[in-house]
Chain A
Amino acid sequence: MSQEALNAILKPSSIAIIGASRRTGAVGNLIVKNILESGFKGSIYPVNPNADEIYGLKCYPSIMDINDSVDLAVIAVRSNVVPAVAEEAGKKGVRGLVVISAGFREIGEEGAKLEKELLDICRKYGMRMVGPNCLGVINTSVPVNVTFASSRPLPGKIALLSQSGALCSAILDWAPREGLGFSVVVSLGNSADLNIVDFIEALKDDENTKIIACYIEGVSNGSRFIEVARETSRKKPIVVLKAGLTSMGVRAVSSHTGSMAGSAVAYSTAFRKAGVIHVDSIEELFDNAKAFSSQPIPNGRNVAILTNAGGPGIVATDACEKFGLTLAWLSYETIDGLKALLPEQASIINPVDVLGDATAERYERALRLLLKDQGVDAVVVILTPQAVTEPTETAKALVKVRSEYPDKPILAVFMGGDSIHEAVDILKNNNIPVYEFPEDAIKTLKNMVDYAERLGVQYKEEPLEFERNISLVQRVIGRAKAEGRTVLLSHEAKTVMKAYGLNIPRSGFAQNLKQALTIANSIGYPVALKIVSPHILHKTDVGGVVLNINSDHELENAYDSMMRNVATLLPQARVYGVEVQEMVPSGKEVIVGVHRDPQFGPLIMFGLGGVYVNLIRDVSFRLAPLSRREAYNMIMETRAYTLLRGFRGETPSDIESVVDVLLRVSRLALDFKEIAELDINPLIVYERGKSSLALDVKITLTYT
C-alpha cells in the first residue's frame, strides 16, 4: 500500500464525515462523537445537507462545499447513495475512504453490483478504501477514532485487525478492564479494496505497534499473505485466530464470507511458513497479545517457575514439558542465594517454591535472583492467596523488579478471586501480563520462545534449479488436455516423473496381449501388470494389479483375468490397455504428494507410504517452494523418519534422495499450474547411496 493512502486512512489530518447526524445513537452521530472524543487535532467536517452544525462543528451540505482539502472521508449513508458521495469525494481529492455503510456484497446480487461500482470509483480517483460494511478505524497515536463503537480503547502496543466488526466492538468494550491498549484497530468489513494483508504490511514499520493480532475468516491472496506476513513477522510478531477450521465452522465461514474457508492443514502450513503464531481461541489471541506487547522476547526456552504453592508449581512444570519448554538449571550462585533467602523446607531447585508463608519481600528477592541467573530466559511467577500472602504488595514488587530487569520476560499467574483483585489490576496497569492459571501463561511463553527461535533462523533460500525436461511434460499434459482427460494415465505420469529426474521402473504401455508379451520379454521376467484406464482410480480394488509374473503363460493368465475382473467390477470403465512393469526390489515405502490448495498453492506432503497411508496418517506438509531445510524438516517430523534412519539396526535409507524428490516435486508443482493433485505412492527408498524409485504415480490435472 502506498504511504500516502496509508497515511490518509491511518494518520489523517482532516476528516469529512458523510452522513454525519445530530440524532443521538445514530451511526453518523457516534462517528463524529468518537472523533471529537478521541482528541483528534485535525479538521473535522461533518457533511449533512439537513443540518447546520453537529456538536458545534459547522455542517456542510456536500463534501464539495468544504473549502479546505480533505484526507479521509468516512461514509455512513444508505448503501444506494454511497457511490454518488464516493464520486464526490473522489472529485474533492480525498485519498482515503472508510465506508461504514452496510448493504453491499453481503446482501446479494444487487449489493454486489453496488460494491463493484464503489470499487470502480475508488480506482478511478486513486482512492483507497476500508470496508464497506465495517466498524471503522482507530489509531490511538494520532489520536483518531473513526468508528461507531461505543467504547474507546486505551492507547497501547497491540494492533488489532479483524474481519468481524462485531468482534472488534466486543473487544474494544472488554479490553480496558483487562488493561489492554491498542495502537491501531481496523475493522475490515467486506475488504472490497484494502484487505488484511495490506494492513499487516502497513503496520510492519509502525513504531507504536509491537504485535499484530488478527481475526481471520479467510485470506484472498494466499501467496501474498505468506510473503507479507513472513516479512513482517521478522520485525514483530503476528498472532492469528483463524475461524472456521472445523467442518461446521467451514460451512459458517462459507456462508458468512462467500469465500472458501480453506483447509485447516493448508492454513496451519501457511502460518508456519509465514512465521505467524496460530492460536485457537479469542482468549489465546489476547493471552499472546498482552505478553508480546509488554514483554521482551526471551533468549531461549529455559523457564524458571517461582511459586508459593507446590501444586500449581507442578502443573506449570508439566505444562512446560508438554509445550516443549525446559525448566532452567539454576546456577550454584542462584541456588546459594535461594538457600540463604528461603526457609529450609523451601524448594530451591526449579520450580522454586517460596512456600505458603512467602511475603512480598521474599518473592521480590527470589525473583531478583532468578532474573539475574544467566541460565534463566523467562520467569513465571505463581501466586495463590494463602494466610500470610500479600498479593498487592507482591504485585508491586513484581513491577519494581520488572523495571530492574527489562530484558527478560516475566509472566504472572495470580490464582484466586476477590483477594487478588487489586493485585491483578496493578499488574495489568503496569505492563505485566497476568494469567488466571499456569497453563495459559506457559502456552503463551512457548509461543514467545518459538517466535524468538524463528527470528534466529536465517531463511536462506537455496537456488533450486534442476535439469528438467519441461517441454516433454508440456506435451504429455497437452495430449491429455486435447482428449479432455483430467487424470494422466500411469505411463504418462511416470514420463512426467522421469522428465523431472526421478527414477521410475522400466515399463511399457500395451494395448493388447501381444504387445504386453513383447514388452515383458524385453524387460525380462518377473514383471507386474497394471490396468490402464482413466476411470479406475483404485486399481488394486478391481483386480487391476498383478505382481510377480514369471512367464509368458502367467502373463497371459494375468491379462485375461484382469480384463475379466475389470469388466465385471467396473463395467462402465473404459480400458485403454495395460502397463507392463519390471518387478523392483523392495525398500522402505514412503509417499510424496502434492495438493494444490486454492488459497496457498502447492501443498507438498510426505509420509509413510503403502496401503495404510489413510489409516496411520503419518504425514507432514509444507508449501512450495520448498527449501532444502524445509524438506528435511518434513521428513524428520514423521515417524517414517525413524524407519528411514534405520530402525533397530537396519541399514539407513537414502534420505538425501527423498529430499531431492521433495524438492523436484515442489519444482514441478510450481512449473505446472495444471497439476492439481499428484501422488507418488509408494516411493521406494533404498539403502543410503542407492536412491529411490517412484513406483506408482497419480496425477490429476485442472485446466481452469
Chain B
Amino acid sequence: MGKKPLSLYVASTGRESFGKTALCVGFSLLLKDEGFKVGFFKPFGWGNFLYKNVRTDEDAALMKELLNLEEDIQTISPVILSYFYLEKLNSMDRSVILEFIEESFKKVSEGKDFVLVEALHELSSGKSVGLSAVEIANHLGLSILLVSSVQRDYVIDDIVFDGSYITGSGVQFLGLVMNNVSVGDLDRVKRVYIPLLEKNNVKVWGVIPENSNMKSPRGSEVKEHLKAEVLTCEEKLEEVLVENYIVGAMTPDSALRYFRATPKKAVITGGDRPDICLVALETDTSLLILTGNLRPSPLVLNKARERGVPVLLVPYDTYTTVNMVQDIAGKIRYGDTKRINLAKQLVAENVNWRGLLEELESKCGKH
C-alpha cells in the first residue's frame, strides 16, 4: 500500500440543503484535471437505485461511472440503508459496522491520490446508534467540509453549532461551502453571514449561486416521475426546466395574472380546460400537465407545438398530480453531461478549491 491519499468528508447542515453531490462531482473532476487519481466513498448509501442489478445509492453509482472506479459498487457504498434505517443499524454490532466501513474505505483508497467521502443526509444522521458523520470521520481520520444553503438566519446558527460540535469531537473541521444562494440573498450573505461565520471560526470556501439548470427538474424528469404520456413536443422535454408549478383552476382572466407572475412553470390543469391551456401558452410556460386523462382538442395541441411547449397527459386528478410533483428536483445522473459540466463550472468559478486542497495538503503534512 502506497502513501495515504488525501481525503475530505462532505456533509451537509440542514435537511433542505442539497448540493453535496454537485460539489463532489465538480471538485472530483477538477482534481482529475489536475492529474489526481480520485476515488469516491459513501459509507452509508440510500438504496433507491438499481445499478447493474445491485440495489445501491444513486450518487455512488454516478461517481463510479464518472471517475471510472474499478472497485465494486458494494465497496464504494458498503452499507445500504432505507426507510427504517435505524432498525437495521441498531440490530448490528456498531464495531462490526465501523470495521466493515473502514475495510471498504481502505480498498477504495488504494492507488488513489484523493478520496472524496460523502455523508448520508445531515451531519447528525446515525447519531442515535453512534454512527453519525462525525463519528465515522473520527474513526476514519477524515476532515469534514459542510455544505449548506443559507436561506434563513437559523441556518447560520446551525452551521456554527455543527462546526463547534465537529471540532469538539476531535475531528478536523475545514469550513463551509454555501450552495444554492439566491441572487436576492447574495448581499446579505456577504454583508452579514460570512463575517459572522468567520468570527465563529467557520471558514467559507465558496458561495455557489442558485442555478436553475442544476436544481430545477427538466420536463423529462417530470415526465418520468409522473409516468406521463407525451402528447406533443417530446423533443423539448430535455431542454425545458420547471421552476414553478401552478394549478390552473381559475377563470382565464385571473389565470393570466398568476401565470404572468410565475415564469418557467408547469401548469397543471384538467384536459377539459382548453381556456387555461391557451392562457398558459400565452405566458412563460415550460410544461403543460393535463390531468384526468382528458385529451385536449387538436387545435390546442397545435398551439402548444407552435409555442414549443411539451404537453403531458396523466391519469390522476389534479390534486394527486400536485402532490406527486412536489418532490421532483433536478438531479445529476450519469450521462447528464450538461449538469455534470455545470457542476464542475460552478465549483471552479465559485469555490476556492485550490485553497481547500492546499489546506488539506498542509494538514496532512502535519500528521
Q: A residues touching B (Cβ–Cβ < 8 Å)?
A: 105-109, 111-112, 247, 250-251, 254-261, 263, 265, 482-487, 511, 534, 537, 574, 576, 595, 598, 676-677, 700, 702-704
Contacts and interface: CB of A to CB of B under 8 A. Distances in A.
B299 A700 contact: no
B302 A483 contact: no
Contact of A704 (B188, B262, B272, B284): B284
A702 B283 CA distance: 8
The 8 closest A-B pairs by CB, nearest first: A258-B299, A108-B298, A254-B274, A255-B297, A676-B260, A112-B302, A254-B275, A255-B274
Nearest to B253: A263
A574 B151 contact: yes
B274 to A, nearest CB: 4
A325 B56 CA distance: 82
B130 interface: no
30 contacts: A106-B299, A107-B298, A108-B301, A108-B302, A109-B298, A109-B302, A109-B305, A111-B298, A112-B305, A112-B306, A250-B252, A254-B274, A254-B277, A254-B278, A256-B299, A258-B299, A258-B303, A263-B252, A265-B253, A482-B183, A486-B261, A486-B262, A487-B261, A511-B191, A574-B151, A574-B185, A598-B256, A676-B260, A677-B257, A700-B257
B182 interface: yes
A486 B261 CA distance: 5
Nearest to A266: B253
A485 B183 CA distance: 10
Contacts of A574: 151, 182, 184-185
Contacts of B182: 574
A254 B185 CA distance: 42
Contacts of B212: 484
B187 A511 contact: yes
Contact of A251 (B188, B257, B274): B274
A518 to B, nearest CB: 16
A534 to B, nearest CB: 7
B237 to A, nearest CB: 16
B350 interface: no
B194 interface: no
Given A254-B278, A574-B182, A486 B253 contact: no
Nearest to A260: B278
A566 to B, nearest CB: 12
A483 B183 contact: yes
A539 to B, nearest CB: 15
A250 B272 CA distance: 12
B232 interface: yes
| Most A CB within 10 A of own CB, among B261, B272, B301 | B261
B261 A258 contact: no
A259 B279 CA distance: 9
B196 to A, nearest CB: 13
B236 interface: no
A109 B251 CA distance: 27
A251 B273 contact: yes
Contacts of B298: 105-109, 111, 258
A220 to B, nearest CB: 12
Given A251-B274, A574-B185, A677 B260 contact: yes
B77 to A, nearest CB: 33
B226 interface: no
Nearest to A489: B184
Contacts of A261: 252, 275, 278
A199 B183 CA distance: 52
A272 B263 CA distance: 33
A257 B261 CA distance: 26
A259 B185 contact: no
Contacts of B260: 486, 676-677, 700, 702
Contacts of B300: 254-255, 258
B279 A260 contact: yes
Given A250-B252, A250-B275, A486-B260, A256 B297 contact: yes
A109 B299 contact: no
Nearest to A487: B261
B297 to A, nearest CB: 4
B330 interface: no
Interface in B28-54: none
A265 B251 CA distance: 13
Given A106-B299, A108-B298, A511-B187, A700 B261 contact: yes
